[in-house]
Chains A and B, each alone.
Chain A
Amino acid sequence: MNQACGIRLARVRSGNRLHMFLLAGAAGPSRRSPRVCLLRKLSFLLLLLLGTNPPAQAADSLVRYEASHQAMGTVFTVVVYGSNRVYLEEVASQVFQEIDQLDDQMSNYKPESELSSINREAARHAVIVEPGLFRLIQDSLQYSRDSGGDFDITVGPLMKAWGFFRGRGRLPSKPELGQALKRIGYERIKLDAAARTIRFDDPGIEIDLGAIAKGYAVDQAVKILRDNGIRQALVSSGTSSLYALGSPPGETGWKISVRNPLDQSKAVCVLRLQNLSLSVSGDYEKFFKLGGKTYAHIMDPHTGMPVENMLSTAVVSPSATDSDALSTSFFVEGPSRARDYLKLHPNLTAILYLPAASGHAFKQIVLKSSLTRLPADAFVSTACH
């Protein structure tokens, strides 16, 4: 932090990039000379504008290549290590191309997507589904069954009623909420595995893969990286789902800091991961405030209301699809049922942040699967406050 020039800079280091976020405008008396301050501020503005360093020529055989790409309403970032810059660039391009294709297929914001087509037609007749999407919907229904409906891909009408679809949120009326709740229920989705078709029991049903598709995209990205011989990489979808492939050169595990749900400039837990994924759900990026009350975007499908007794959840799993879905599921379920889930499902670590009793910022609960048999090349360490 630097407050001497009247601005506060939060330095967030990721990889070899130094992200600096200006936290406040003019504030506080300056202890430095105005000229020094001016230069610092101009430098800051230019840093914001330029953002990047000029491309460096690889001086030795090890090249680090990092690129970002917008898709699925967020920004995907890939960093890969290898020996050939052009090859790494081509592999990263292939990853982004795959993510774009998944976005085009699974977006409920795009009327031409396969998912939108299913949502329009599956109540009228059985619709044949592409195998990858079919498996993802199968998996989603399994998460729903396992969580007793706390994870539910038919939550779309609720997101619309609360204004989180194409909007910034609003308070729905009771009749609106009632109508939305009537249209929710994963069990009304009928899959025919032999025919690979989907059908809705009710015309109001629609699928929203927002709680699982980004994790699935990360897994598909990692598959492409592995298929192309990449052994050291990290994939992040908007910071909420990451996969650590191998470890950075000379290290054991990729260092990943989980944001404090109450102060996102601070880390609340630092993990080192190798060949594992981490997903985080939180109520601090998408919410609205009304009458002094905060309404976040993660819904309890049973009540139709935003979940209130959870701040953030983080889940470590060998699969990013798994960790993405479970971070949402545990956010809705709470610690008791998350604990029950972990008794039955191996190789998971869950960290839950709950609103605290008076005197504390939040309560942290770390849970692990009863059974852990990670592959030999996987590694996890957690250092939580």
Chain B
Amino acid sequence: MKNKKEVTRRDFLKTAAVVVAAGSAKPMAAASPAILSDPSPGSTVHYGFIGTGTEGCSLLKQLTTIPEGRCIATCDIYPPNLKRGVETIGSNPQTYTGGPTNLSLSNSSDYRRMLERKDMDAVLIATPLNRHAQMIIDSLNAGKHVFVEKTMYFKEEEGDQIRKAAEANSKQVVQIGLQRRSSVLYNVAMQMIRKGALGKVMFVRAQWHRNNNWRRPVRDPKLERLINWRMYREYSGGLMAELASHQVDIANWAFGEEPLSVVGTGGIDYWKDGREVCDNIEVIFKYTGGRKMLYSSILYNEHLGFDEQIMGDQGTLIITIGKGMYYREAVAKVSSGPAKENWWAGATVSQAAAQKGMPIFPEEARGEDKGFVDREVLYAKRWLASMGIYEYEEPHDPKWSELSNFMASIRDGKPIACPIETGMADARAVIYGNRAVDTGNTVLWPAKAA
């Protein structure tokens, strides 16, 4: 956030703005517990990193610019990934590997040995999904704070096991890697919903559409299951766990609850290449009050890409990482009794401005024909931002923000951006969603059905 009294137009256009004052839109989960344990405020969090594959290295790259933490160890069962992780973080961590390069749970590799280190405060986990639960529990029991990539866990029963371990180690932070929870843009969107800008929110439509086989190249066929673990049910929840999990969480967040039930379908209908998980899923999550989320993920057309469309009776938000638009519905005004009528007549007013949405980040509208109100809102945002009381940009990649927040939760007791309850709700949606696709049945949330 800039604190300058004056912001030049150039500065302003370079910088994204948000619509609602950030004083009430901090990317924090207010209900989360504040945790303060070792290390103390101001000290450096020493962490180990398990799983330095593609996603792991993506996180490590963000971590290179977060000085509050220092990577002292990395762990991976696949040597090329281990090497890549070391090169990415650049902090000369000790490496842990060994054992056969397979993904079965019996292969514990060396991560437990890594957990024995007393100089390690935290563990970050970005392994295949089937390994998450055991690694979280082991890390907690070893006294470490835990950051785990979404989806939080793989099998239904693992949720309670993790919860028990977390409760037994309640001073340790557990944060789930749903980075939208750390996005200023998404937090602003949720503030807009809470403040009524969308009216009564009844429907969320979301999709993650790609046009590729969702595979990684494998030089040696023996490594197929290691490299392409996402294709196999022994390790993976498929598109639901890897893609939908981000977006179902947005519906949960917007509706303020978990679903009641889910129906769905899907199949291996296009990429018939030996994979075991669907190349397309189409599901409907039902919430209380008839609210629903309609979701699809396909691997044979990418025209729609990925975003979430949150719809209320007074407006729509179309949002994804780095981009958000707000569209108002034309809503009738009803009142009783006579009103003081005073109408205006003048040259025809153009509908152009009314048709266009309002960008949450104003630079999206740059170069377009902006209407009068758009221009003036932009000035208002600029003024508020210049006063230093208004977040008007996504200051960092949300992945950076979530990792920075993790360190701050450990060091300074800041609220956890995505706590265990959020992760468990998300994991349930993934598990039940896949069950609905697999069985063709309506799957009910047990707690809500009771």
Counting CB contacts under 8 A, is A281 at the interface?
yes
**Which of B330, B346, B358, B372 sits near A259, CB closer than 8 Å?**
B346
CA distance A259 to B349 in the complex (A): 12
Q: Which residue of chain B has its CB nearest to the CB of A237? A: B348
User: A45, B341: Cβ atoms under 8 Å?
Assistant: no
Q: Mark A90-109, 1 if CB is under 8 A from B, else 0.
A: 00100000000000000000
CA distance A22 to B382 in the complex (A): 13
User: A240, B343: Cβ atoms under 8 Å?
Assistant: no
Given known A280-B347, A282-B346, A283-B347, contact A168–B369 (CB-CB < 8 A) = yes
Which of A54-62, A172-180, A223-231, A361-369 is near enough to bind chain B? A54-62
User: B351, A74: Cβ atoms under 8 Å?
Assistant: yes
Q: Mark B186-207, 1 if CB is under 8 A from A, else 0.
A: 0000001001110000000000
Q: Which of A269-303 contact B (CB under 8 A)?
A: 271, 278-286
Q: Which of under 10, 10 to 19, 20 to 34, or 35 or more describes the interface residues of B? A: 35 or more
User: B347, A70: Cβ atoms under 8 Å?
Assistant: no
User: B341, A58: Cβ atoms under 8 Å?
Assistant: no
- Chain B residues near A59 (CB-CB < 8 A): 336-337
For the complex formed, measure the closest distance between the CB of A264 and the CB atoms of chain B, giving whole angstroms.
Answer: 6
- Chain A residues near B355 (CB-CB < 8 A): 70
Counting CB contacts under 8 A, is B383 at the interface?
yes
Q: Which of A216-272 contact B (CB under 8 A)?
A: 234, 236-240, 242, 248-251, 254-259, 264, 267, 271
For the complex formed, measure the closest distance between the CB of B204 and the CB atoms of chain A, giving whole angstroms.
Answer: 19
User: B350, A16: Cβ atoms under 8 Å?
Assistant: no
User: A50, B197: Cβ atoms under 8 Å?
Assistant: yes
User: A7, B380: Cβ atoms under 8 Å?
Assistant: yes
Given known A41-B380, A73-B350, contact A256–B344 (CB-CB < 8 A) = yes
User: B380, A25: Cβ atoms under 8 Å?
Assistant: yes
Counting CB contacts under 8 A, is B304 at the interface?
no
Counting CB contacts under 8 A, is A68 at the interface?
yes
Counting CB contacts under 8 A, is A69 at the interface?
yes
- Chain A residues near B351 (CB-CB < 8 A): 70-71, 73-75, 238
Which of B126-134, B275-283, B286-294, B384-392 is near enough to bind chain A? B384-392
User: B340, A256: Cβ atoms under 8 Å?
Assistant: no
Q: Which of A20-41 contact B (CB under 8 A)?
A: 21-26, 34, 38, 41
User: A238, B349: Cβ atoms under 8 Å?
Assistant: yes
- Chain A residues near B382 (CB-CB < 8 A): 25-26
**Which of A12, A51, A92, A237 sits near B344, CB closer than 8 Å?**
A12
User: B333, A53: Cβ atoms under 8 Å?
Assistant: yes
- Chain A residues near B339 (CB-CB < 8 A): 15-16, 64, 248
Counting CB contacts under 8 A, is B141 at the interface?
no
Counting CB contacts under 8 A, is A336 at the interface?
no
CA distance A16 to B336 in the complex (A): 11
- Chain A residues near B196 (CB-CB < 8 A): 50
Q: Mark B114-128, 1 if CB is under 8 A from A, else 0.
A: 000000000000000
CA distance A240 to B373 in the complex (A): 19
CA distance A23 to B380 in the complex (A): 10
- Chain A residues near B325 (CB-CB < 8 A): none
Counting CB contacts under 8 A, is A17 at the interface?
yes
Counting CB contacts under 8 A, is B106 at the interface?
no
Q: Which residue of chain A has its CB nearest to the CB of B326? A: A49
User: B354, A16: Cβ atoms under 8 Å?
Assistant: no
- Chain B residues near A312 (CB-CB < 8 A): 346-347
User: A69, B330: Cβ atoms under 8 Å?
Assistant: yes
Given known A15-B339, A63-B334, A234-B341, contact A41–B384 (CB-CB < 8 A) = yes
- Chain B residues near A278 (CB-CB < 8 A): 345
CA distance A58 to B253 in the complex (A): 34
Counting CB contacts under 8 A, is A355 at the interface?
no
- Chain A residues near B420 (CB-CB < 8 A): none
User: A70, B342: Cβ atoms under 8 Å?
Assistant: no
Given known A58-B334, A239-B349, contact A34–B387 (CB-CB < 8 A) = yes
- Chain A residues near B373 (CB-CB < 8 A): 21-22, 48
- Chain B residues near A250 (CB-CB < 8 A): 338
User: B334, A239: Cβ atoms under 8 Å?
Assistant: no
For the complex formed, measure the closest distance between the CB of B113 and the CB atoms of chain A, giving whole angstroms.
Answer: 54
For the complex formed, measure the closest distance between the CB of B4 and the CB atoms of chain A, giving whole angstroms.
Answer: 13
CA distance A242 to B342 in the complex (A): 12
For the complex formed, measure the closest distance between the CB of B370 and the CB atoms of chain A, giving whole angstroms.
Answer: 12
User: B336, A282: Cβ atoms under 8 Å?
Assistant: no
- Please indicate which of the listed interface residues B358, B373, B380, B389 has the most CB atoms of chain A within 10 Å of its own CB: B380
CA distance A278 to B343 in the complex (A): 11
Counting CB contacts under 8 A, is B214 at the interface?
no
**Which of A42, A64, A251 sits near B334, CB closer than 8 Å?**
A64
For the complex formed, measure the closest distance between the CB of A234 and the CB atoms of chain B, giving whole angstroms.
Answer: 6
- Chain A residues near B337 (CB-CB < 8 A): 59-60, 62, 64, 249
- Chain A residues near B270 (CB-CB < 8 A): none
User: B342, A214: Cβ atoms under 8 Å?
Assistant: no
User: A258, B345: Cβ atoms under 8 Å?
Assistant: yes
For the complex formed, measure the closest distance between the CB of B9 and the CB atoms of chain A, giving whole angstroms.
Answer: 11
User: A281, B341: Cβ atoms under 8 Å?
Assistant: no
Given known A21-B372, A38-B387, A50-B196, contact A64–B347 (CB-CB < 8 A) = no
Given known A53-B333, A63-B334, A92-B332, contact A45–B377 (CB-CB < 8 A) = yes
Give the interface of A toward B (CB within 8 A): 6-7, 12-17, 21-26, 34, 38, 41-42, 44-46, 48-53, 55-60, 62-71, 73-75, 79, 81, 85, 89, 92, 168, 214, 234, 236-240, 242, 248-251, 254-259, 264, 267, 271, 278-286, 312, 314
Could you list 13 A-B pairs, sorted by A, with CB under 8 Å?
A15-B333, A26-B383, A46-B20, A49-B197, A55-B334, A56-B335, A64-B334, A65-B332, A66-B334, A67-B330, A248-B338, A256-B344, A281-B347
Given contacts A38-B389, A257-B343, A264-B346, 15 further A-B contacts (CB under 8 A): A7-B383, A14-B344, A15-B342, A41-B380, A45-B19, A46-B195, A58-B336, A92-B332, A234-B341, A238-B351, A240-B347, A248-B338, A255-B341, A257-B345, A280-B345
